[in-house]
Each structure stands twice: as structure tokens, then as C-alpha cells.
Amino acid sequence: MPAADDKARFERLIQRIEPGSRLLRAWSLTGGVTAQMASLEVERADGTTVKWVARRYGDVDPVQGDYVAVGEFKLLCALQVTGLPVPPPIAYDPPEDLFDPPTLVLGYLEGAPQFAAADVSAFMRQLAAQLAQIHRLDVTALNLAFLPRQAEVVSLRLRRRPQVFDESMGEGPIRAALDSVWPLASLNPPALLHGDFWPGNVLWQNNRIAAVIDWEDAAVGDPLADLANTRLELLWAFGAEAMRSFTREYEKVMPGIDARHLPYWDLCAALRPIDQIGDWGLDETVERMMRERHRVFVAEALRAIGAR
């Protein structure tokens, strides 16, 4: 349960959003990594009740967190007209207003993530179709100039070089391969990228996708960037055959995609968690498995581009 002072702040927040409403109850939600999540049950002035979710950004730089929160709020506002199953944005609370971190209030959506499936092929087909729906949106019509460009995000990551590479995860060869081609020429039109499309950010209900959540890493760029990130996540969660099945299904529903640079984007995806995986609080056996599958993922990408 949220602390008493948090509940008082939530009460003031909902009064600000809808004067005359009151907080019936608040409870914490699990699963957030860079944000604290709380569900709010609100009684409106007309006596009806509604559920909202308060998303408080915590594990980010305060300035960046405000930028990320504003960007996610603006993006969700823009996506309301697209038909994508995304949370409806309710309000944005700046940092150090009611809460220290920036806070989004979103409509509550029923559903839960799934990390197991009776029919893995059907599961992968739905995931691939959903990612393709995101990538087919018209980024020009949506006016997404406020989002970062994915190529620039990767450029910054490549410039931030640690003093010692984590060679247990192939950091040296990954960086060498990417440094040799970066900036990478895009072979595909720019698309909206979710930035962290994995099973934990997809809600399911009655064996169908109900919502895609947590858009804080959204960017504009080559859709292969999203594809690669999801491939690694599915390799971790479901194994190599599921990853390959997902890739095939995505390419079926995106027949115009030019995948020649996918191995480079796979390496970008592989670079991202290297300095984070040890801080995720994973079970030792799970972390060992993820590190081993990461090594296989990197080795396959390096072989595909002819690197050693």
C-alpha cells in the first residue's frame, strides 16, 4: 500500500484533475523498473467510480525524468486517435509539485502480462502483428518531433564508453562492430518505435492483446531497432525458436521491411542491458541463463555481419 503521505497527495491530485471527486483507495502495482506504479480507485462527483494508474518516474535523472514523462504524456495523447490499444492519458503532474518525481495519471486498463503460452506460435503472431501496427503509423501526421531519434540515442550510448568493457557479454566486439558502421544508414522509412516492446509491457485479456504500456523509451527511427530489442527479450523469455518465429511473423506482416541491417540493430539491442543486468535483482539461475542466451545472440549477429 502507498504511504499515508502519498495517499494524501493522491487525494489532492485527483481533486485537481476532477474537482469534487475523492479517493476511495490506492494500492501499489508491481512490475515497474524505472517507475513506481499505483492504482487509484476514484469516486467522481456524480457518484460513479473509475480506476486510474499513477506512474511516478523514479530511477532516472530528475531532468531527464521530466522530459521523459512529458514526452510519454504527449505521445499517449497523440496515439488516442490511432486505434492502438494504449492507456488513455488523464493528467501530467510536474516534478516537485505534489510528488518529487514527475507523475503521469493514466486510465486503468484490464489485463496482465503473459510469460507463458499454450500456443506459442499464435502468441508470437499477435505480438508481431501488434508491433507492425505501431510501425505502420504515419509519424509525420502524428507530429512526433518531440520524440528522440533512435540513431542519436545509439550514438550517445556508443560515446559513453566504460573504462573497462564487460567482455563476459561481448561488449568489446559489439562496440567495435557498431563503431565501424555508425551512423548506420537507414534502409527503412522512419517509424514510431515503442522502445521497450517485450512481454512485460503487453497486457493480455482472454488470450488477446488488451494494451501496450510503458512508452517512456519511445523514439522515431528504423523499425529494425524495435524488432531487434523484442527479439532479444523473446529469446530470454521463450527461447530461440520463439524468437525466430516472432521474426518470421513480423516479416510476413511487414513485407516491405528491408532487414539487411538487422544484425547491427541486434548488436544495439545487446549493448543496451550490459551495464544493467546485474542490477535487476534476478535469481542467480535466471541471470546465468540470460547471460548465456545474450552471448549466443551476440555471436549470431557478429557471424551475420562477418565480424569476429
Question: In the CATH hierarchy, which fold is given to the domain comprising 120-304?
Answer: Aminoglycoside 3'-phosphotransferase; Chain: A, domain 2 (3.90.1200)
pLDDT recorded at residue 62: 44
* Amino acid identity at 91: A
Q: What is the CATH number of domain 4-107?
A: 3.30.200.20
- Does the structure show a pLDDT above 80 at 64? no
- Read off the C-alpha cell for 102: 514527475
CA angle 245, 222, 143 (to 5 degrees): 125
- Does the structure show a pLDDT above 70 at 32? no
Q: What is the C-alpha to C-alpha distance for residues 243 and 123, in angstroms, rounded to an integer?
A: 11
Q: Which residues of the chain does CATH 3.30.200.20 include? A: 4-107
pLDDT recorded at residue 63: 41
Q: Torsion-angle region of residue 142: left (phi > 0), alpha (psi -120 to 50) or beta?
A: alpha
- Does the structure show a pLDDT above 90 at 52? yes
Computed over every residue of the chain, the mean pLDDT equals 92
Please say whether the beta carbons of 220 and 147 come within 8 A: yes
Cα 46 to Cα 14, 17, 19, 42, 107, distances in angstroms: 14, 15, 11, 11, 18
List pLDDT tens digits, range 98-152: 777 788 999 999 999 999 998 999 999 999 999 999 999 999 999 999 999 999 9
pLDDT recorded at residue 2: 60
Listed range (6-10, 159-163, 166-170, 252-256) with the worst mean pLDDT: 6-10
> Nearest to residue 147, comparing CAs of 79, 84, 202?
79
- Read off the C-alpha cell for 308: 569476429
The owner of cell 512526433 is: 144
Listed in order, strand segments (DSSP E) in the chain are: 22-29, 35-43, 49-57, 89-93, 103-107, 191-193, 202-205, 208-212, 219-221
pTM: 0.92
> Nearest to residue 147, comparing CAs of 202, 191, 102?
191
Higher per-residue pLDDT: 151 or 57: 151
Q: What is the C-alpha to C-alpha distance for residues 169 and 275, in angstroms, rounded to an integer?
A: 10
Neighbours of 300 (CB within 10 A): 13
Confidence of residue 165 (pLDDT cuts 50, 70, 90): very high
Listed range (21-30, 42-51, 292-301) with the worst mean pLDDT: 21-30
- Does the structure show a pLDDT above 90 at 76? yes
Please say whether the beta carbons of 75 and 218 come within 8 A: yes
List pLDDT tens digits, range 286-307: 999 999 999 999 999 999 999 6
Higher per-residue pLDDT: 19 or 7: 19
Confidence of residue 3 (pLDDT cuts 50, 70, 90): low
Q: What is the C-alpha to C-alpha distance for residues 50 and 21, in angstroms, rounded to an integer?
A: 10
> Nearest to residue 10, comparing CAs of 24, 46, 48?
24
Listed range (67-76, 188-197, 238-247) with the worst mean pLDDT: 67-76
Q: How far is CA 265 from the centre of its chain?
A: 16
List pLDDT tens digits, range 206-258: 999 999 999 999 999 999 999 999 999 999 999 999 999 999 999 999 999 99
Q: What is the DSSP letter of 184?
A: P
Q: Which residues of the chain does CATH 3.90.1200.10 include? A: 120-304
User: 240 burial class (0-12, 13-18, 19+ CB within 10 angstroms)?
Assistant: middle
Confidence of residue 97 (pLDDT cuts 50, 70, 90): low
User: 34 burial class (0-12, 13-18, 19+ CB within 10 angstroms)?
Assistant: middle
pLDDT recorded at residue 151: 96
Please say whether the beta carbons of 55 and 37 come within 8 A: yes
Provide CB contacts within 8 A for 19, sequence distance 6+: 45
The owner of cell 467522481 is: 44
- Does the structure show a pLDDT above 50 at 61? no
